[in-house]
Amino acid sequence: MTRLILFLLALGFLPQTPSLAPYVPTPEDVVDRILTLAQVKAGDVVYDLGCGDGRIPIAAAKRGARGVGVDIDPRRIEESNANAKAAGVERLVEFRLQDAMTVDVSPATVVTLYLLSSSNAKLRPILTRQLKPGARIVSHAFSMGSDWPAEKVDRFVTARGDEVTLYLWRTDGTPRK
């Protein structure tokens, strides 16, 4: 199915979904830090909007949570499914070929993002309208704008020597534009 979609995309038969960010995978040590910042544990439902190769939902599943990954690139969804199988967590994760802007995130207790500031701004009204109060949002590198300061900011140097900033917000049921 994914191969057919790839083929049709290549031929220009399917409409292109607007990209929210290019593919840049989060290093594994940063993935761990994201899940720790969000205090992911068994019982959580972790959505990664723009999931790349599925590493965040897969790492969440290794902590006993359920993971959902969404990406517009069929190659990423294929990789995600293969990686989940290799990690033995395929029953705890689900990967969908879908535009992040159209996802119903209401089942999520945690949403992770590694997109762009402009993409966070587009998703913010959807997230704050749909998520239950107390849900956590963690964004790698990009804030939600000065009018929604993060509850926590985690700045550190990765194993590779890069400086990284993670932002954590907790929803309170108030919709934000």
User: Which residue ranges make up the site for ligand SAM (CB under 6 A)?
Assistant: 17-21, 23-26, 48, 50-52, 55-56, 70-73, 76, 99-101, 114-115, 140
Closest CB to ligand SAM among residues 21, 135: 21
Query: CA dist 69 to 92, 93, 154, 158, 172, Å?
Result: 11, 8, 23, 24, 24
CB of 138 to ligand SAM, least distance (A): 10
Q: Are 135 and 128 in contact (CB under 8 A)?
A: no
Q: How far is the CB of 117 from ligand SAM (least distance, A)?
A: 13
Chain centroid to CA 170: how far?
Answer: 16
Instruction: Kindly tell me which of 5 and 101 has the beta carbon lying closer to ligand SAM.
Output: 101
Kindly state the smallest distance separating residue 75's Cβ from ligand SAM, in Å. 9
Taking the least distance from each CB to ligand SAM, the nearer of 28 and 172 is 28
* Cα–Cα distance for residue pair 4/20, rounded to 1 Å: 23
Nearer to ligand SAM (CB atom), residue 106 or residue 118: 118
Q: Which residue is nearest to ligand SAM (CB)?
A: 50
The least distance separating ligand SAM from the CB of residue 109, rounded to whole angstroms, comes to 17
From start to end of the chain, where are the E strands?
45-49, 66-71, 93-97, 110-113, 136-140, 152-157, 163-170
Residue position matching structure tokens 């994760």: 93
